[in-house]
């Protein structure tokens, strides 16, 4: 059985006047199965959003300089990428407060999608909109449909956004920082909803976040992204129980609530390199507490058995 999403050796370049100016995605290979929630985690600037946009087929022409992305076994041609993916992949962006157009009601905006993509007439379109608002557990769907965005809370807006993303029955839902703008308790409710929808609809979910706490609660597997590469990949429980890449360990150490008196809360020093063209060897080496000279020479491949892989020649060396 082929995976729902199969990303092979993806490389994304930004080109200016014929010269490659940045390479924010550098050889990512990942799969997402039906009914699976895959967490993509890493600090801001690691390439998470670009990866999501690549899966959607929304990057500018030519930005994907190497590799391929097959959706549901199909490799869309570069030209047809948008039309092929539009109906199988949907995305929900970070800020529900700005994702909707403020001058139209939620219902009008959802109706638009239904009319454009499914060609439904008024009554049937309205019925479908209400069905999906109900699906995301919004109480009083009629009232929500007739509300303007500013009349709803952040949590309700995010539910409505998810409903809108599901209107055309996608097989893959990408959630890009879906809870970052929300309170902790509301964020938890949204994650619970995502899991319920996954169970009910059997969709594959790519959950993109900088927050390892979010992935640890909601995801079946975790891909840790650093500087445009997957540096650790595995079942959530395996990665959390035995994080092998120093970057993953750093993210865990910086997670409030996990630290104990003998394991203090610690920030990872430094920041993600803004441009990756000049990097040789492991991009994390300059920030890594256990790096050796060899780390600056070759960029290690992702390796490991039983589904838990890590890209580090120092994996397993205590910090
Ligand atoms: N138009 C662009 N031109 C050049 N570099 C870009 C452009 N857009 C994004 N980038 C770079 O790509 C990297 C990854 O960005 P992004 O995918 O938004 O990261 P994340 O979502 O993980 O925070 C960043 O370092 C950013 O500077
Ligand atoms: Mg982002």
Tell me the whole-structure pTM to 2 decimals: 0.93
- Collapsing DSSP to helix, strand or coil, 310 comes out as strand
Closest Cα to atom 2 of ligand 1: 14
Nearest ligand 1 atom, CA 228: 14
Closest Cα to atom 17 of ligand 1: 47
How many angstroms separate the alpha carbon of residue 214 from the centre of ligand 2? 15
What pLDDT was estimated at residue 2? 67
> And the tokens for 15?
């080109």
The residues near 276 (Cβ < 8 Å, ≥ 6 apart) are 22, 23, 24, 26, 227, 228, 283
What pLDDT was estimated at residue 96? 78
Phi/psi at 196 (nearest 5 deg)? Answer: -65, -45
**Could you tell me if the CB of 271 is within 6 A of ligand 1?**
no
Q: What is the dihedral of CA 246, 248, 249, 255, to 10 degrees?
A: 150
What pLDDT was estimated at residue 290? 94
**Whole-number Cα distances in Å, 9 to 29, 43, 179, 286:** 5, 21, 29, 25
User: Nearest-CA neighbor of 7 among 206, 179, 260?
Assistant: 206
Rounded (5°) CA angle 221-227-229: 45
How many angstroms separate the alpha carbon of residue 252 from the centre of ligand 1? 23
Q: Which ligand is nearest to the CA of 178?
A: 2
Q: Which ligand is nearest to the CA of 94?
A: 2
Q: Which ligand is nearest to the CA of 54?
A: 1
Rounded to whole angstroms, the Cα distance separating 138 from 160 reads 8
| Tens place of pLDDT per residue across the chain (319 aa) | 569 999 999 999 999 998 999 999 999 999 999 999 999 999 999 999 999 999 998 898 889 999 999 998 887 655 455 555 667 999 998 887 888 999 999 999 999 999 988 889 899 999 999 999 999 999 999 999 999 999 999 999 999 999 999 999 999 999 999 998 889 999 999 999 999 999 999 999 999 999 888 898 899 999 999 999 999 999 999 999 999 999 999 999 888 766 566 666 678 889 998 888 888 999 999 999 999 999 999 999 999 988 999 999 999 777 6
What is the CATH code of the structural domain delimited by 5-88+171-310?
3.40.50.300
**Could you tell me if the CB of 28 is within 6 A of ligand 1?**
no
Rounded to whole angstroms, the Cα distance separating 34 from 54 reads 19
Element (H, E) at 157: helix 154-166
Closest Cα to atom 25 of ligand 1: 45
Q: Which ligand is nearest to the CA of 229?
A: 1
Q: For ligand 2, a single-atom ion, which residues have Cβ within 5 Å?
A: 49
Nearest ligand 1 atom, CA 52: 17
DSSP class per residue in 221-252: EEEEEETTEEEEEEEHHHHHHS--SHHHHHHH
Nearest ligand 1 atom, CA 44: 23
Domain ranges for the chain: 5-88+171-310, 101-169
Closest Cα to atom 3 of ligand 1: 14
What pLDDT was estimated at residue 83? 53
């Amino acid at each position: 059985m082929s995976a729902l999403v199969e990303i092979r050796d993806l490389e994304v370049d930004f080109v200016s006047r014929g010269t490659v100016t940045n390479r924010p995605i550098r050889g990512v290979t990942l799969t997402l199965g039906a009914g699976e929630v895959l967490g993509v985690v890493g600090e801001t600037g690691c390439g998470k959003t670009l990866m999501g946009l690549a899966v959607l087929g929304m990057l500018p022409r030519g930005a994907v300089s190497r590799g391929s992305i097959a959706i549901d076994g199909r490799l869309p041609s570069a030209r047809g990428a948008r039309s092929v993916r539009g109906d199988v992949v949907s995305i929900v962006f970070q800020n529900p407060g700005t994702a909707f157009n403020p001058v139209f009601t939620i219902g009008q905006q959802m109706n638009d999608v239904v009319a454009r993509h499914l060609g439904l007439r008024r009554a049937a379109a309205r019925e479908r909109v209400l069905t999906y608002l109900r699906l995301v557990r919004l109480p009083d769907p009629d009232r929500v449909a007739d509300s303007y965005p500013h009349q709803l809370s952040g949590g309700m807006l995010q539910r409505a956004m998810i409903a809108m993303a599901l209107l055309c029955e996608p097989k893959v839902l990408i959630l890009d920082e879906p809870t970052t703008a929300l309170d902790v308790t509301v964020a938890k409710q949204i994650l619970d909803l995502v899991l319920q929808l996954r169970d009910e609809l059997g969709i594959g979910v790519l959950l993109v976040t900088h927050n390892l706490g979010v992935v640890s609660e909601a995801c079946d597997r975790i891909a840790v992204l650093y500087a445009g590469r997957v540096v650790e990949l595995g079942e959530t429980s395996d990665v959390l129980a035995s994080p092998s890449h120093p970057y993953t360990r750093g993210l865990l150490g910086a997670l409030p609530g996990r630290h104990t008196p003998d394991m203090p809360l610690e920030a990872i020093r430094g920041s993600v390199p803004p441009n990756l063209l000049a990097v040789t060897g492991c991009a994390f080496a300059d920030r890594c507490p256990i790096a050796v000279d060899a780390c600056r020479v070759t960029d290690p491949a992702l390796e490991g058995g039983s589904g838990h892989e890590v890209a580090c020649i120092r994996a397993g060396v205590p910090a």
